[in-house]
Chains A and B, each alone.
Chain A
Amino acid sequence: MIDTLRLTAEEANRLLAGGQVSSDELYAAYGDAIAARDEELHCYLHVCEDDPGTGIPIALKDVIGTKGIPTTAGSRILEGYVPVYDATVVMRLRARGLRVLGKTNTDEFAMGSSTENSAYGPTRNPWNPTRVPGGSGGGSAAAVSAGLAPWALGSDTGGSIKQPAALCGNVGLRPTYGTVSRYGIVAFASSLDQVGPVARTVRDCAFLYSLIAGRDACDSTTVELPRPVELPTAEDLHGLRIGVPRELNEADGIEPGVRAAVEAAIELLCGLGAEIGECRLPLSVEYGLPCYYLIAPAEASSNLARYDGVRYGFRARDAAERLEMYERTRDEGFGEEPKRRIMVGTYALSAGYYAAYYGQAQKVRTVIKREHDAAFETFDALVSPTSPTVAFPLGERTTDPLAMYLSDLLTIPSCMAGLPGLNVPCGLSEGLPVGLQIVGPQFGENTLFAIGHALEGALGFDPVPERLR
């Protein structure tokens, strides 16, 4: 009997290598779990009947192009779209025998923090189905927590891997910008988008990262890793200096329960031998969110121009002429959030406003990068809450876009600087998971894994939602 709620990918690989379980048995066990629990949770937009391979299964966020398997990015405008090639990350997983279980739910075009912007309905949080799983990668995070996949891939532009991992109580890495190929990924904001792993343990997360990272000739923004990925083993943190940015830890809106869990985790890091000190990121936190909500929509308005009803995806019916076809296709095909961002982005890039909005935001980005560089002269990593709040009720923020945007207040600054960030669960508040965000310098993933692994061991957090135990 395979307990998909508890089985780690590492253990599954060991059982498979030892002949105690077959690839087909593993694949079927997750298929059964999906059949039993996904009607309630709606983690998957598409469940594969089967998928070739000799290894263990994986779930993929539905922005990742999969040959022969529908890929919608949570949007009506891509309804019925079946990619004719695999994304590079998918080819790399297939080369290792991994089998795709299905495609997980996402806010439309990865724009959102709750999956409520999915055109196909929201995903529910496995810890409490009246709460959101976070977003945009809520489907991947909820699937891993609910035992509907041993691990998954997500994508992160301003927090879409880290924030759902925090709200669902699992481990998520947003890698250093440029270390994972985006070839075959539905583009949102190209100077920010990164693909990354979601898993139940830090070691699984590190291993999955090692499978997908590295230069890809099909994505000219990628680079080779300067050092190979190290699977963490150390139980202590002697010799590491960890900074606690005051503004990220004392921001308005951080719930007391979240703050308490994070403070306790920082105490534990100190007990494990790390040297802890305070630092400052004042401009990054104050200007990070407005900077992001100019740059991301501007780039999105350009990337989403390709959805015109000509070559693939949805086309509005019965348009008499071409311009009408474009405009009606886009009006009927895009949901509210992509439209808002296309409008903001188009405005910010339009003649007369470019310098004041997009140009200025790019300069703010330099300021954010410099502040982080300065912090990393003293510290090996920075810690804070990942999300200011635990999982919030469905519907709570859907009518107020700005309230939803605040969900990413603490994840956005490091994304703007292209830095890696790891979410590790660090406790419960109101019976819901709290996540610790660990941010490193560029290519600092191994340090993040080391800190996360030692903390995981010391905390003993049970990642299985209480109601499913």
Chain B
Amino acid sequence: MAIDREQLLHVAHLARLELREEEVERLGAQLNDILAAVSKVSELDLADVPPTSHPLDVVNVWAEDEPRPSLPVDVALANAPDREGDMFRVPPAGS
């Protein structure tokens, strides 16, 4: 199933990627090649096969709910591209 330009831009928006025009063309072609290759998984009839989401049979790992010290605010903000006081600063939400 081929993915058209409109779908490509929709997926890019879902992924929060602003693609430039030349990227739209190149990625569109490559994506169709990749999707055609991976669609091979649909050849198998696996209606009765359970999915594997995780290779080890580990369920419900419990931990004690004990408070521990967390990073000081200045350390947590050390890599912030922009900050204001004790907060990350970002541009305003659009309309």
Q: A residues touching B (Cβ–Cβ < 8 Å)? A: 80-82, 84-85, 177-178, 191, 217, 220-221, 223, 283, 286-287, 289-291, 293-294, 301, 305, 308-315, 319-328, 330-331, 334, 339-340, 342-344, 346-348, 350, 356-357, 359-367, 369, 401-402, 405, 416-419, 442
- Closest-by-CB residue of B relative to A332 is B18
The 5 A-B residue pairs with the shortest CB-CB distance, nearest first, are A418-B55, A362-B51, A312-B79, A327-B18, A321-B94
A340's partner among B18, B31, B44 (CB-CB below 8 A) is B31
Main secondary structure on chain B at its contact with chain A? Answer: loop
B56 in contact with A290 (CB, 8 Å): no
Chain B residues contacting A305 (CB-CB under 8 Å) are 15-16
Chain B residues numbered 67-94 whose CB sits less than 8 Å from any CB in chain A:
71, 75-76, 78-82, 88, 90-94
Chain B residues contacting A347 (CB-CB under 8 Å) are 3, 7, 11, 31, 35
Chain A residues contacting B82 (CB-CB under 8 Å) are 315
Q: 17 A-B contacts, Cβ less than 8 Å apart?
A: A82-B79, A178-B58, A191-B55, A220-B63, A287-B40, A293-B38, A310-B90, A313-B81, A321-B92, A322-B90, A324-B18, A327-B17, A346-B11, A347-B35, A350-B14, A361-B41, A366-B51
B15 in contact with A177 (CB, 8 Å): no
CB distance from B8 to the nearest CB of A (A): 8
CB distance from A26 to the nearest CB of B (A): 32
Question: What separation, in Å, do the CA atoms of A320 and B93 have in the docked complex?
Answer: 9
Asked, given contacts A310-B88, A311-B88, A322-B94, whether A177 binds B55 with beta carbons under 8 Å apart, the answer is: yes
A344's partner among B35, B41, B71 (CB-CB below 8 A) is B35
Asked, given contacts A84-B75, A301-B15, A311-B79, whether A217 binds B51 with beta carbons under 8 Å apart, the answer is: no
Chain A residues contacting B11 (CB-CB under 8 Å) are 343, 346-347, 350
Chain A residues contacting B63 (CB-CB under 8 Å) are 217, 220
A343's partner among B31, B54, B78 (CB-CB below 8 A) is B31
B38 in contact with A369 (CB, 8 Å): no
B80 in contact with A311 (CB, 8 Å): yes
- Closest-by-CB residue of B relative to A85 is B71
A-B Cβ contacts below 8 A, count: 179
Asked, given contacts A221-B54, A321-B91, whether A364 binds B18 with beta carbons under 8 Å apart, the answer is: no
Question: What separation, in Å, do the CA atoms of A315 and B91 have in the docked complex?
Answer: 11
CB distance from A174 to the nearest CB of B (A): 12
Question: What separation, in Å, do the CA atoms of A387 and B19 have in the docked complex?
Answer: 34
Chain B residues numbered 47-62 whose CB sits less than 8 Å from any CB in chain A:
49-56, 58, 61
CB distance from A332 to the nearest CB of B (A): 9
Among A293, A314, A417, max chain B CB count under 10 A is at A293
Question: What separation, in Å, do the CA atoms of A80 and B94 have in the docked complex?
Answer: 28
Question: What separation, in Å, do the CA atoms of A301 and B16 have in the docked complex?
Answer: 11
Asked, given contacts A322-B90, A330-B18, A346-B15, whether A362 binds B53 with beta carbons under 8 Å apart, the answer is: yes
CB distance from A7 to the nearest CB of B (A): 36
CB distance from B85 to the nearest CB of A (A): 15
B53 in contact with A82 (CB, 8 Å): no
B58's partner among A85, A223, A324, A350 (CB-CB below 8 A) is A223
A325's partner among B56, B80, B90 (CB-CB below 8 A) is B90
Question: What separation, in Å, do the CA atoms of A45 and B31 have in the docked complex?
Answer: 30
B41's partner among A327, A330, A364 (CB-CB below 8 A) is A364
Chain B residues contacting A178 (CB-CB under 8 Å) are 55-56, 58
CB distance from B68 to the nearest CB of A (A): 10
Chain A residues contacting B53 (CB-CB under 8 Å) are 191, 362
Asked, given contacts A293-B37, A293-B38, whether A367 binds B81 with beta carbons under 8 Å apart, the answer is: no
B56's partner among A84, A177, A311, A362 (CB-CB below 8 A) is A177
- Closest-by-CB residue of A relative to B19 is A331
- Closest-by-CB residue of A relative to B80 is A311
A366 in contact with B81 (CB, 8 Å): no
CB distance from B74 to the nearest CB of A (A): 10
- Closest-by-CB residue of A relative to B8 is A343
B52 in contact with A308 (CB, 8 Å): no
Question: What separation, in Å, do the CA atoms of A361 and B8 have in the docked complex?
Answer: 22
Known: A330-B17, A361-B38, A401-B33. 9 other contacts (CB 8 A): A191-B54, A324-B18, A342-B15, A344-B35, A346-B11, A347-B7, A364-B41, A366-B46, A417-B55
CB distance from A403 to the nearest CB of B (A): 11
Chain B residues contacting A367 (CB-CB under 8 Å) are 44, 46, 49
Asked, given contacts A321-B94, A346-B14, whether A364 binds B79 with beta carbons under 8 Å apart, the answer is: no
Question: What separation, in Å, do the CA atoms of A219 and B36 have in the docked complex?
Answer: 36
B51 in contact with A363 (CB, 8 Å): yes
B94's partner among A314, A323, A334, A360 (CB-CB below 8 A) is A323
- Closest-by-CB residue of A relative to B13 is A327
Among B40, B75, B81, max chain A CB count under 10 A is at B81
Question: What separation, in Å, do the CA atoms of A171 and B10 have in the docked complex?
Answer: 44
Question: What separation, in Å, do the CA atoms of A177 and B52 have in the docked complex?
Answer: 13
Chain A residues contacting B93 (CB-CB under 8 Å) are 321-323
CB distance from B29 to the nearest CB of A (A): 11
B91 in contact with A340 (CB, 8 Å): no
Question: What separation, in Å, do the CA atoms of A328 and B16 have in the docked complex?
Answer: 8
A364 in contact with B44 (CB, 8 Å): yes
CB distance from A16 to the nearest CB of B (A): 34
